[in-house]
Homo-oligomer: A and B are copies of this chain.
Amino acid sequence: MAALTEVSSNKSFGGQQKVFSHESAELKCTMKFGVFLPPAASGGKVPVIYWLSGLTCTEQNFVTKAGAQKYAAEHGLIIVAPDTSPRGVNIEGEDDSYDFGSGAGFYVDATQDKWQTNYRMYSYITKELPTLINENFPTIPDRQSIMGHSMGGHGALICTLKNPGKYRSVSAFSPICNPVNCPWGQKAFNGYLGADQAVWKTYDACELARQYNGPALDILVDQGKADNFLTQKQLLPENLVEVCSEKKIPITLRMQEDYDHSYFFIASFIEDHIRHHALHLKA
């Protein structure tokens, strides 16, 4: 069993909000993650939701700002919030921009020289981390769901679409829905994956939805109408809705009047997302 080091522990809504660090084999560095243990977890095994954060975030943003603990406590769900990229790996240029390198792992396994040793967030999130969580906390391993925000919404969507049946449900706040067609995605995929756009497509939610052939999905997406990144065509939720319509994949896209890209938006609707996952995790 891989060793966990407790970084912090705070009682929250009758449960425990903890942060741990551990040595990641996939990322070859020390990583942190947040884990909320609801009161129900002290009496038996419970389902788990993974939360993937967006650009520039660490595990702290969701833990301190989303207000999810109340609803996780009420529904009896563990929530795991990992960091968004390898840390302290000292790759040249890693800290040069907010949308590539540190804090911007984009939930892919890099293939390009400088990045391929450490930047393996896809394998970390879908394999190493769940194994670690299931070994160390009272989870029901086959009852897990995933959600995320922005870059993390992209991550939640692709982890689900690439692994039919692995997650009971998926939801996202302002996700990057079609990274091969937006500036953020093109920069990240070119840097981590190289020039071959056929490889990019294996991490693109729209492309993956087009080819999806697994258990029925029930995707929930909230998107603020006053989100600058929506206007700048970084998110492209309309493209995902179009593919899902063609493929008859149920998706609910809620366009929320006047809401922006911030954690104030997430906090306003996290209750609905946790209820959505609870319905599927307890079905």
Our pick among B10, B12, B70, B268 for the contact of A12 (Cβ within 8 Å) is: B268
Question: In residues 10-36 of chain A, which contact B (Cβ within 8 Å)?
Answer: 10-14, 17
Q: Given A11-B226, A11-B268, A268-B11, are A70 and B69 neighbors across the interface (CB < 8 Å)?
A: no
Whole-angstrom CA separation of A224 from B224 in the bound complex = 37
Residues in B neighbouring A267, C-beta threshold 8 A: 12-13, 67, 69-70
This chain: copies in complex: 2
- Does A263 sit within 8 A of B, measured CB to CB? yes
Inter-subunit contact B64/A64 (CB<8 Å): yes
Among B13, B263, B268, the residue within 8 A (CB) of A268 is B13
Q: Which of B64, B70, B224, B260 meets A65, CB within 8 Å?
A: B64
**CA A69 to CA B266, docked complex, whole Å:** 12
The size of the chain A interface, using a CB distance under 8 A, is 22
- Pairwise interchain contact B69-A10, C-beta atoms closer than 8 A: no
User: What is the predominant secondary structure among interface residues of chain A facing chain B?
Assistant: mixed
The distance in angstroms between the C-alpha atoms of A260 and B12, with both chains bound, is: 9
Q: Which residue of B lies closest to A269 (CB)?
A: B13
Q: Is A98 an interface residue (CB 8 A)?
A: no
CA distance A13 to B13 in the complex (A): 20
Residue of B nearest to A259 (CB): B11
A124 is an interface residue with CB less than 8 A from chain B: no
Measured CA separation A13–B260 after assembly (Å)? 12
Enumerate chain B residues within 8 angstroms of A14, measured Cβ to Cβ. 268
Roughly how many angstroms separate A259 CA and B11 CA in the complex, as a whole number?
5
A262 an interface residue at 8 Å Cβ cutoff?
Answer: yes
Per-position 1/0 for A256-278, Cβ under 8 A of B: 00111011110110000000000
Bound Cα distance from A13 to B267, whole angstroms: 8
Bound form: Cα–Cα A265–B259 in Å: 27
Q: How far is the CB of A174 from chain B (nearest CB, A)?
A: 13
**Residue in contact with A263 in the complex, picked from B64, B260, B262, B265, CB distance below 8 Å:** B64
Interchain CA distance A262-B12 in the complex, whole Å: 10
* Cα distance, A133 to B70, chains bound together (Å): 31
Nearest CB of B to A230, in Å? 14
Beyond A10-B265, A11-B259: 6 further Cβ-contacts under 8 Å? Answer: A10-B262, A11-B226, A12-B268, A67-B67, A69-B268, A70-B267
14 contacts between A and B (CB under 8 A): A11-B226, A11-B258, A11-B260, A11-B264, A11-B268, A12-B265, A12-B267, A12-B268, A17-B264, A65-B65, A67-B70, A69-B268, A70-B267, A70-B268
